[in-house]
Chain A
Amino acid sequence: MRTTAWPSTRVAVAIVATLFTSAAPAVAQQPTTDLNEAIERALKAASAKVAPTIVKIETAGGAEVIGGGKKGGPPGPIIRKGTGPTTGLIVSADGYVISSSFNFANKPTEIFITVPGRQRYVAKVVAHDQTRMLTLLKIDAHDLPVPVPFPKKDIQVGQWAISLGRTLDINIDRPPSMSIGIVSATNRIWGKAIQTDAKTSPVNYGGPLVAIDGRVLGVIVPASNRAEGETAGVEVYDGGIGFAIPLEDINRVLPRLKEGKDLKRGLLGINPQGADAYNLPPTIGAIQPDSAAARAGLAIGDKIIEVTVGGETKKVPNYSTLQHILGPLYEGDEISLKVLRGDQEREFKNIKLMGTVTAYVAAFLGVLPMRDDPGPGVVVRYVYPNSPAAAAGIQEGDRIMKLAPANVPALSPIPNRAALLTTMQRLTPGTEIKIELKRKDGDKIETVTTKLVPMPDTLPERLPLPSSAGKALEGQPKPKDPFPPGKDPFPPKGPGFFTIHTLQPDDKKDDKPKIETGFLTRTNEALGREYWLYIPDNYDPNVSHGLLVWFHPAGQSKDGEKMMKTFRDFAEDHHFIIMGPKSNNNDGWVASETELVMHDVKTVLGQYTIDRSRVVAHGMAKGGEMASYVAFNARDVFRGVAIVGSPLGTAPKDNVANQPLSFFIAVGDKDPLLKEVLESRDLLLEKRFPVIYREMKDSGKEYFDLKTFTDFLAWLDSLDRV
């Protein structure tokens, strides 16, 4: 076995060198006869070179299953934790071993490490790297062999990659288990991981991904770009898409981990404006309170044009680029930003990223605005009792003309409801504001002052009608098609993409889209999907409508007409459109259906006049889990989540100002999932989301009782409260 590192950085050269040296003794006996044999020998030599640094990890105690969104555990599907040993890689001669955090996700009480050719040691957890999902362990051993890292800058797509693990063979003195493939990509998972098609699974998580010259590319971990946590990505094990954290990156942060400090992701604390992460330069849409961005003095509306990390300056054409640059960074890392504020360039130097951000809390004035009023100003539809608005003497029918924090000399005009909502999003609870009002009776202009409070969990006592001035489209362009031609991410595949069954043959010739009302069923033959849609008979394109997206419980995909009947009166009076996508499989929803569902939702958004502040995901049981999952993953669209008898389908993300979400959670007091639902509610409250919670008496897994239903309708119609 060779222990020296190959000085060459060229992969091909390294292979050639390996082939020559390892083949040499064999050639003397018999001539090399084929290429396969030469590769075989190179693979074994590479494995043998790293094998002494690959340790076996055994644990005792801990949970049997992990995941499933249980409190304290990682979100996602339930995973049964195997009983076998797992794998680790020695990273320093004085007894430090790195491994995948997955191997300890069940929180074992005891950890033992066996080093090849040596004894078994008691191991202690030193620290976790929470962004790369690695765990550093320590054993009382010295003079251990250490692997040679493959330089990160030289890793090329297409080069051999061998994944090695210690799970399968209990005998540590035999070769580790081997799977072979190539490097599929570099800089994956926001720049943190190498991707390979060698098989990766619990059999080798924590083990090394090795180049053909025996140098270590990285440490194998489960990973996903859609989820975080130690179990994210396990579901695609052996799936041809595996990940490894570059060993060079690990070695760089090793001194910090050795100090026993957990490493967290470095957060800037901003959210972008709009949902397009690829085509527009990143403009700050929201800043988390007390975040790195807030401390540095960044402002909403700043356009980020350059980022400097570690002396390297990069242009930032879009938000995705920014995510890739910030993704690998840790808490405490410093960056510099160049932003465009108005037409002025400004520089923010040495912004220190933070590990956690304070939850954003929405500010509350206490009014429901009148919808579809072209302005100027916004008519007050309802004033919440005991609210700041009530305290200031604002009354129904008054028109809010201008608004600003009290310490700003000039009041900014509020042209319409949308402007009122965005202005309020920029204010924080506790702020004193001035409001210029045009009183209902007479055109008297008055300025009142009040202090904003945190968004409460109260519902309006009544909902005055009308809720709309009925002039949504007056003087405004038609509702925008979310997918203008050429930008549709799911372009129609041939004819028959959408068949509207209720259309008469004559209608098809009509160029103008005729507004269909009533209960409609739409099928998407290309994707094999179907959804129903209820458009109230009094639909008027000049009145903006809320959109309620119903996710049916498992096995009840045919409940469309029942739901439609339940909501018909409310939908007519309060202007709501109801739609119900159907799961692909009758057994329930899977997360991967999100994109397809969102395609249907966006189609409806494009066809009707929809009030974007009242788009709600609603579901029961499994459908409720899906509703919350979809809403958290399409926050540019949804403003409310209403779930009955179901915990959240995902760990809640942070509450952000420009993409607010309100929750209505109902559960029967005899529902077997009551505990999980309560835990979900608490998680949301921790993140400071506004939550209305209702426990229904003498109810198991049932839909709303009448009282709760009434509250639900009030909640639906007051989502645009400010």
Chain B
Amino acid sequence: MLTDPPGAFFPQLRTAMLTRTIWVGIVALLALLPAPAVGHAADPLVDVAQKANKKLVKLFGAGGFSRLNNYATGIIVSPQGHIITVASQILDTPDLVVHLYDGTRLQAQVLVTERELDIALLKVKSPGKKFEDPLDEPLEYFDFLAAAKRPPAEVGDWVIALSNTFEIALRDEPLSVQRGVIAAYTKMAGRRGVFEFPYTGDVYIVDAITNNPGAAGGALLNRKGELIGIIGRELKNTLSETWMNYAIPVTGKAEVVQRVLLKDMNGNIVKDKDGKEVYEEKTVTVTMAQFVELGMQGKYKPIEGKTTIGGIGGYHGILFVPNILERTPAYIEDVVPGSPADKAGLRPDDLVSFIDGEPVISINAFHDYIKKRTRAGTVIRLEVRRGEVLETVELTLEAHPATSPSAPAPAPPKQ
């Protein structure tokens, strides 16, 4: 194409335009609308892209070998040079550098990261100054807290994604701009290699290819140029086994169940009658806005000591058919008399199909759910296929009996 004479382009261009009679139709239609419409119909995305580019940075750090990239994108969230990006391996270096939109190179350092939100807060400094010092010149920025107060975007909303995808932009070159729509706003079952994706809240799935090197930490904007999300990393979705284009919403939050020491009103640790510490389970919620706000004040403490409940989960008393395949369907072979399964009326040949609304694709998946999400006392809702109908039953799980095969009692030490 590059060697074609310029004239050769025009016939093609004309054909392309003819096939877009729809566009012409819409434009013609809009021209007929009341005057205010015409004034703004030019192309508002141009303006949005230009303005946003000044509030974003290119980020360079650790990596650059064996398919780990050493570049990413960041979003400026304060005039004093606070920047948010995805908490990736490129931050593991003291030599973190950002390039501003005008090509200025500044040193950066990580202030705090939150694994549960998959996000990091950075700060840049002016040359020759300390990180605590104010910048020589304030930067243009996205007001994150204002953005977090807006309602979430909907499926079908136009979005603009800006990022340094494939490291195509260097120094003062503008970032790459992509257009798409919100494909879905939902939770994501993602994984990166063998690691599960830490963030458990809702994400925006974007109808634009953003799952490429360098795009992580870029900005997702609505068509008005408002920040709505932070472009995520390269991840595969286990639901569909496809690469996902997603962004963590500015309204995002993580709910984490923690096992914490029980304290009394005075903050003293409570002990039981044997003098042992007592633990309780507590759901801790952290929002993106809290992270950014407290982080900039230097007050944010990352969530620690996350534990999943249980270990072996609650006791149900279902005995499944022999589990011989990776995806053996969860057919009940028998139920232990008097067990929760028995009390709920489950019978041999029932097929456990859904647990708390989630599909049970195999016996393994059922065990996995019980182990990770339940304990004695948890109420689970099962939908079982009995003949051609689905029956819904509720089971209140109990503590494992001592002789339960899934919780064998430790053998007595040999004399």
Q: Which of A153-161, A388-396, A468-476, A627-635 is the interface stretch?
A: A153-161
Question: In this assembly, does A112 line the interface, its C-beta being within 8 Å of a C-beta of chain B?
Answer: yes
For A202, give its contact among B22, B240, B353, B358 (CB under 8 Å): B240
Q: Are A64 and B242 in contact (CB under 8 A)?
A: no
For A60, give its contact among B37, B188, B360 (CB under 8 Å): B360
Q: Which of B38-46, B142-150, B170-178 is the interface stretch?
A: B38-46
If A44-B156, A82-B237, A85-B359 touch, does A62 touch B207 (CB 8 Å cutoff)? no
Q: Are B327 and A62 in contact (CB under 8 A)?
A: yes
For A80, give its contact among B209, B241, B354, B362 (CB under 8 Å): B241
Contacts of B29 in A (CB 8 A): 16, 19
If A61-B327, A64-B326 touch, does A35 touch B237 (CB 8 Å cutoff)? no
Q: Are A202 and B241 in contact (CB under 8 A)?
A: yes
If A83-B239, A178-B156, A238-B242 touch, does A60 touch B359 (CB 8 Å cutoff)? yes
Which residues of chain A in 99-122 are interfacial with respect to chain B, using CB atoms and an 8 Å cutoff?
106, 108-110, 112, 119-122
CA distance A62 to B383 in the complex (A): 19
Contacts of B238 in A (CB 8 A): 82-84
Contacts of A106 in B (CB 8 A): 327
Q: Which of A165-173, A252-260, A534-542 is the interface stretch?
A: A165-173
Question: In this assembly, does B26 line the interface, its C-beta being within 8 Å of a C-beta of chain A?
Answer: yes
Q: How far is the CB of A352 from chain B (nearest CB, A)?
A: 38
Which residues of chain A in 169-198 are interfacial with respect to chain B, using CB atoms and an 8 Å cutoff?
169-171, 174-180
If A61-B361, A122-B388, A140-B388 touch, does A36 touch B184 (CB 8 Å cutoff)? no
Q: Are B241 and A79 in contact (CB under 8 A)?
A: yes
Q: Are B329 and A109 in contact (CB under 8 A)?
A: yes
Question: In this assembly, does A310 line the interface, its C-beta being within 8 Å of a C-beta of chain B?
Answer: no
For A167, give its contact among B180, B240, B328 (CB under 8 Å): B240
Q: Are B359 and A178 in contact (CB under 8 A)?
A: no
Q: Are B37 and A40 in contact (CB under 8 A)?
A: no
Q: Mark B1-38, 1 if CB is under 8 A from A, else 0.
A: 00000000000000000011110111101100110110
Which residues of chain A in 119-134 are interfacial with respect to chain B, using CB atoms and an 8 Å cutoff?
119-122
If A35-B26, A158-B21 touch, does A167 touch B239 (CB 8 Å cutoff)? yes
For A199, give its contact among B26, B207, B365 (CB under 8 Å): B207
If A159-B22, A238-B209 touch, does A33 touch B36 (CB 8 Å cutoff)? yes
Which residues of chain A in 436-485 are interfacial with respect to chain B, using CB atoms and an 8 Å cutoff?
none
Chain A, Cβ-Cβ closest to B42 = A34
Q: How far is the CB of B229 from chain A (nearest CB, A)?
A: 15
Q: Are B362 and A60 in contact (CB under 8 A)?
A: yes
Contacts of B184 in A (CB 8 A): 168-169, 177-178
Which residues of chain B in 216-230 are interfacial with respect to chain A, using CB atoms and an 8 Å cutoff?
223
Which residues of chain B in 229-252 are interfacial with respect to chain A, using CB atoms and an 8 Å cutoff?
237-243
CA distance A19 to B44 in the complex (A): 19
If A61-B329, A84-B189, A122-B389 touch, does A168 touch B183 (CB 8 Å cutoff)? yes
Question: In this assembly, does A488 line the interface, its C-beta being within 8 Å of a C-beta of chain B?
Answer: no
B interface residues, tally (CB under 8 Å)? 65
Contacts of A180 in B (CB 8 A): 180-181, 207
Contacts of B242 in A (CB 8 A): 82, 201-203, 237-238
CA distance A47 to B156 in the complex (A): 9
Question: In this assembly, does A59 line the interface, its C-beta being within 8 Å of a C-beta of chain B?
Answer: yes
Q: How far is the CB of B105 from chain A (nearest CB, A)?
A: 35
Chain A, Cβ-Cβ closest to B21 = A12
CA distance A267 to B36 in the complex (A): 61
Q: Are B158 and A40 in contact (CB under 8 A)?
A: yes
CA distance A273 to B40 in the complex (A): 62
For B239, give its contact among A85, A174, A179 (CB under 8 Å): A85
Question: In this assembly, does A141 line the interface, its C-beta being within 8 Å of a C-beta of chain B?
Answer: no
Question: In this assembly, does B157 line the interface, its C-beta being within 8 Å of a C-beta of chain A?
Answer: yes
Question: In this assembly, does A600 line the interface, its C-beta being within 8 Å of a C-beta of chain B?
Answer: no
If A40-B156, A112-B353 touch, does A120 touch B390 (CB 8 Å cutoff)? yes
Which residues of chain A in 58-87 are interfacial with respect to chain B, using CB atoms and an 8 Å cutoff?
58-64, 79-85
Q: Mark A23-52, 1 if CB is under 8 A from B, else 0.
A: 000000001111111111001100100000
Q: Are A110 and B156 in contact (CB under 8 A)?
A: no
Question: In this assembly, does A11 line the interface, its C-beta being within 8 Å of a C-beta of chain B?
Answer: yes
Q: How far is the CB of B161 from chain A (nearest CB, A)?
A: 14
If A83-B361, A110-B385 touch, does A168 touch B186 (CB 8 Å cutoff)? yes
Q: Are A122 and B385 in contact (CB under 8 A)?
A: yes
If A60-B351, A167-B239 touch, does A158 touch B183 (CB 8 Å cutoff)? no
Q: Are B26 and A15 in contact (CB under 8 A)?
A: yes
CA distance A82 to B186 in the complex (A): 17
For B241, give its contact among A39, A63, A81 (CB under 8 Å): A81
Q: Are A177 and B241 in contact (CB under 8 A)?
A: no
Q: Are A84 and B237 in contact (CB under 8 A)?
A: yes
Which residues of chain B in 264-280 are interfacial with respect to chain A, using CB atoms and an 8 Å cutoff?
none
A-B contacts, 20 of them at CB < 8 A, read A34-B223, A60-B330, A61-B327, A64-B326, A79-B241, A82-B241, A83-B238, A110-B329, A110-B351, A112-B390, A119-B390, A158-B22, A171-B186, A175-B154, A178-B156, A178-B181, A178-B183, A180-B181, A199-B183, A212-B22
B interface vs A, CB < 8 Å?
A: 19-22, 24-27, 29-30, 33-34, 36-37, 40-41, 44-45, 154-158, 180-189, 205, 207, 209, 223, 237-243, 325-330, 351, 353-354, 357-362, 365, 383, 385, 388-390
4 A-B pairs with least C-beta separation = A84-B239, A12-B25, A158-B19, A61-B329
